[in-house]
Amino acid sequence: MISFKALYLHLMIAPKNLFKLPICFRSPRSWLFIGWVAGIATICPAQNIEGAEPSTVLKAALSDWDTTGNWKVSKGGVFVLTPRPGEVDWKRYGDYLWSKKAYKDFEITFDYQHEKGGNSGLYFNVTDRQKAVGSVIEVQIRDCAEVEEITAHAITGGILPGIAPKANAAKPAGEWNRMRVKSENGIVAVFLNGTLVNHVRLRHPRLKAKPKQGYIGFQDHGLPFQLRNIRIRDLSASPAKTTPTRKAAAAKPQLDQTARLPNVVLILSDDMGYSDLPKFGKSEIPTPSIDRLADEGTLFTSAYVTAPVCVVSRMGLLSGQYQQRFGIYDNLYGEDRVRLFLEQTLVQSVFQQGGYRTGMVGKWHLNGNKKEQYSNGSPLQRGFDEFVGIRGGDSPFWEGTPIYRNNNPESFPAPEYLTDFWGNEACAFIDRNKSRPFFLYLAYNAVHSPMHALDADQEKFPGVDDENRRIYDGMLLSMDRSIGRVLDRLDQHGIADNTIVVFLNDNGGGGSTDLYAAHSRNYANNEPLRGHKFDVLEGGIRVPMIIRWPREGGVSARKVYEKMVSSTDIYPTLVNAAGLNMPAGQPADGVNLLPYLNGENHAKPHEWLCWQNRSWLPRKKGGSVAPTRRVHNSAIRKGDWKLVRRDEKLDADIQPAWQLYDLKNDIGERNDVAAQRPKVVDELGGLFDVWRASMHPTVE
């Protein structure tokens, strides 16, 4: 049998009629259909089948362009612009290479090469080629591999006027670079060497007054500039109308994943143990959906949250800042005490203001607890268009549990087991918004106590003797199933490749003894890490984290990233990936991880990270632990060194000594080496003191 590839190439040979098959045909019946299509292509080589992509044209000859300046084409098909005598720097603005037709929606790909200091540009949507300078849209093309400061003018991929790229992906002078620029449906995407470096709407304030269609041109000033393999695809060209076959008509249109802004699904689990996922530890719990995310994305082995407890960790995640900047060092409630947090622009607000539909499903816990809710700070007041969930920190999981939707003060009974309900509500949100960019925050309250699991899920662990652990296993199994439904729904709508999925846990797993608060005791497994929720030891703050973004310029699959990252990095990473802007004047403690993940930046995202949180100590009258006023635990990690101070009384003159751990050789933080490494203690202690002085005093 002839191979699919050979038949595909046979169909592509038709001159001036480059198109792709709409369906990957496999069955004998499909081969008969392909034969019919091939016959049509042979009889009518100048026609396109309805639904096929418009042709891509190689512009390899000088006659394919209108030219000014000293442009020549070598035998190898390389366009070379060599300066004439006296043509230097700004005097070379007249040396253009112009397309002979105007384009509205297009895609252009090409290779370019600069000498040291080269400075060129790609113009598009040019209506008057005699008055192009300063009046049109230009994509910067510069020798900038060694430039550190990213600005619109200085870095390749910057869009003039004034839209800086998100990364510097340029190769050094003398090396060939590949650029792809796509403008379709009012959205411009710029790829450089496989990395998405800019993504912006033509209605951006700096671009909205510019023409929306016109000629494409290359411009250079300064040094010799070379181009090759220039291909233009007219995306607005109307294909010839033919009567589609029944097979062709049944094929679903494939969404162009680079023509629209990326969707976001941010998934947060609750109180899960670090080792309760097979990808992160030895676990008896199968989690095929979370495993799939790791296989299709990047897994982080040194990811940290900003706090070992629910509210404060969520503040750090959604604000992209240490919550200590707001004076908050533990779960605190009351509008006056969280005033500074309420003034922050959260990540979902940036997306909402950027035209995204924003939705939140699950546990909010950021404007009160079950007993106390304050008027400001509800999900719809903090940047979400839609909300369904619980408002406090924990809830029963059973059918009939009170649930809130949007701003309705009256609850309604959950129609099913809560974890399943969250997944179904997330899928419904995706269904409603599949055709436009969306931001979904899916915050499970699993596997936080109370310990409630469906019988059918518990029964899948007959070898687990401890009933509490068996219930926990069933709860986590249910959450993985719910996540799987969401991933499947993205696949069904053909938007998975253009959706960034982030998964992480809010803090370490709860303990299983009386040393831990009863409302957080869930029998999670953090081994080999020491400590649990409420601790600044690794078991309280190091969490599983995965990012998946399959499309070109996204995140690598099956990659393990071992350098230290923070939950505060999620905010700038998502904002930059979407081509949006960080809030002006608002501090950002996180960094955009994309350059680190795609190999552009080989440095560490963070040299060090700090923690300071209120201690949870045994009550004087007995019983489980409780937060203790003005007694704090603190820690700093730099490299493999971790400095820890526990139960510091803020008002006391004498404080507990620092403990020092070598995480490379002692991940369980069992062997204090502070006495053997006094210089390390002094260095890290000094860094911590500088950090603490930059934070807001506690408002507890």
CATH code of 106's domain: 2.60.120.560
pLDDT, residue 88, reads 57
Whether 616 and 600 map to the same domain: the answer is no
Can you tell me whether residue 561 is helix, strand or coil?
A: strand
Domain boundary among 560, 579, 609: 609
Can you tell me whether residue 384 is helix, strand or coil?
A: coil
Helix (H) or strand (E) holding 403: strand 402-405
Our CA angle for 281, 284, 288, nearest 5°, is 80
198 part of a folded domain: yes
pLDDT, residue 49, reads 27
Q: Does residue 495 have a pLDDT over 90?
A: yes
pLDDT, residue 97, reads 82
What CATH number corresponds to the domain at position 455?
3.40.720.10
Closest CA to 476 of 210, 264, 291, 254: 291
Instruction: Give the residues across from 613 on adjacent strands.
Output: 633
368 part of a folded domain: yes
Is the separation of the CB atoms in 618 and 699 below 8 Å?
no
Lowest-confidence pick of 84-98, 394-408, 673-687:
84-98
Domain boundary among 563, 581, 609: 609
pLDDT tens digit sequence for 402-439: 999 998 989 999 999 999 999 999 999 999 999 999 99
92's torsion region: left (phi>0), alpha (psi -120 to 50) or beta?
Answer: alpha
Please, what is the average pLDDT of the chain? 84
Q: Does residue 28 have a pLDDT over 50?
A: no
Is the separation of the CB atoms in 269 and 502 below 8 Å?
no
CA distances from 477 to 78, 506, 510 (A): 58, 18, 17
Whether 635 and 604 map to the same domain: the answer is no
Q: Does residue 585 have a pLDDT over 80?
A: yes
Tokens coding 71? 């442009």
Whether 143 and 167 map to the same domain: the answer is yes
Whether 285 and 430 map to the same domain: the answer is yes
Q: Does residue 251 have a pLDDT over 80?
A: no
Whether 183 and 311 map to the same domain: the answer is no
pLDDT tens digit sequence for 351-365: 999 999 999 999 998
What is the number of domains present in the chain? 4
Dihedral sign (CA 443, 447, 453, 458): positive
Whether 207 and 269 map to the same domain: the answer is no
pLDDT, residue 627, reads 81
Whether 222 and 92 map to the same domain: the answer is yes
435 part of a folded domain: yes
Q: Does residue 243 have a pLDDT over 70?
A: no
Q: Residue with structure tokens 């005097």? A: 91
Helix (H) or strand (E) holding 248: helix 246-250
Is the separation of the CB atoms in 305 and 504 below 8 Å?
yes
Whether 208 and 98 map to the same domain: the answer is yes
Can you tell me whether residue 389 is helix, strand or coil?
A: strand
Is the separation of the CB atoms in 299 and 351 below 8 Å?
no
Q: Does residue 32 have a pLDDT over 70?
A: no
245 part of a folded domain: no
* The model's pTM: 0.66
Q: Does residue 45 have a pLDDT over 60?
A: no
pLDDT band per the 50, 70, 90 thresholds, residue 94: low
Tokens coding 468? 């509490």
246 part of a folded domain: no
pLDDT, residue 312, reads 94
The pLDDT > 70 percentage for the chain reads 84
Whether 211 and 70 map to the same domain: the answer is yes
Q: Does residue 283 have a pLDDT over 90?
A: yes
Q: Alpha-carbon distance 160 to 682, whole Å? A: 48
pLDDT band per the 50, 70, 90 thresholds, residue 277: very high
Lowest-confidence pick of 185-189, 403-407, 442-446, 643-647:
185-189
Whether 121 and 37 map to the same domain: the answer is no
pLDDT, residue 316, reads 97
Query: What would the mean pLDDT of 516-533 be, rounded to a whole number?
Result: 88
- Higher local confidence (pLDDT), 113 or 280: 280
Whether 230 and 379 map to the same domain: the answer is no
Q: Does residue 453 have a pLDDT over 70?
A: yes
Is the separation of the CB atoms in 418 and 404 below 8 Å?
no
pLDDT, residue 55, reads 56
User: How many CB atoms neighbour CB 376 within 10 A?
Assistant: 11
Tokens coding 667? 């991940």
pLDDT, residue 64, reads 85
Q: Alpha-carbon distance 169 to 196, whole Å? A: 9
What letter would DSSP give residue 63? G
Whether 352 and 222 map to the same domain: the answer is no
- Higher local confidence (pLDDT), 347 or 250: 347
Q: For residue 246, with 0-12 CB atoms within 10 Å meaning exposed, 13-18 middle and 19 or more buried, which class applies?
A: exposed
Lowest-confidence pick of 92-96, 243-247, 379-383:
243-247
Helix (H) or strand (E) holding 687: helix 678-694
Helix (H) or strand (E) holding 485: helix 467-492
pLDDT, residue 629, reads 87
628 part of a folded domain: yes
Pairing of the two strands 499-505 and 542-548:
antiparallel
Q: Alpha-carbon distance 697 to 389, whole Å? A: 32
Is the separation of the CB atoms in 504 and 543 below 8 Å?
yes
Rg of the Cα atoms in the chain: 29
Q: Does residue 53 have a pLDDT over 80?
A: no
- Higher local confidence (pLDDT), 91 or 531: 531
Query: What would the mean pLDDT of 242-264 be, rounded to a whole number?
Result: 48
Domain boundary among 575, 593, 609: 609
353 part of a folded domain: yes
Instruction: Give the residues across from 627 on adjacent strands.
Output: 616
Query: What would the mean pLDDT of 652-668 be, rounded to a whole number?
Result: 95
Helix (H) or strand (E) holding 647: strand 641-649
253 part of a folded domain: no
User: Domain residues for 30?
Assistant: 4-52
The pLDDT > 90 percentage for the chain reads 54
Query: What would the mean pLDDT of 249-276 be, rounded to a whole number?
Result: 72
3-state DSSP of 299-332: EEEEEECCCCCHHHHHHHHHHCCCHHHHCCCCCC
pLDDT band per the 50, 70, 90 thresholds, residue 128: confident
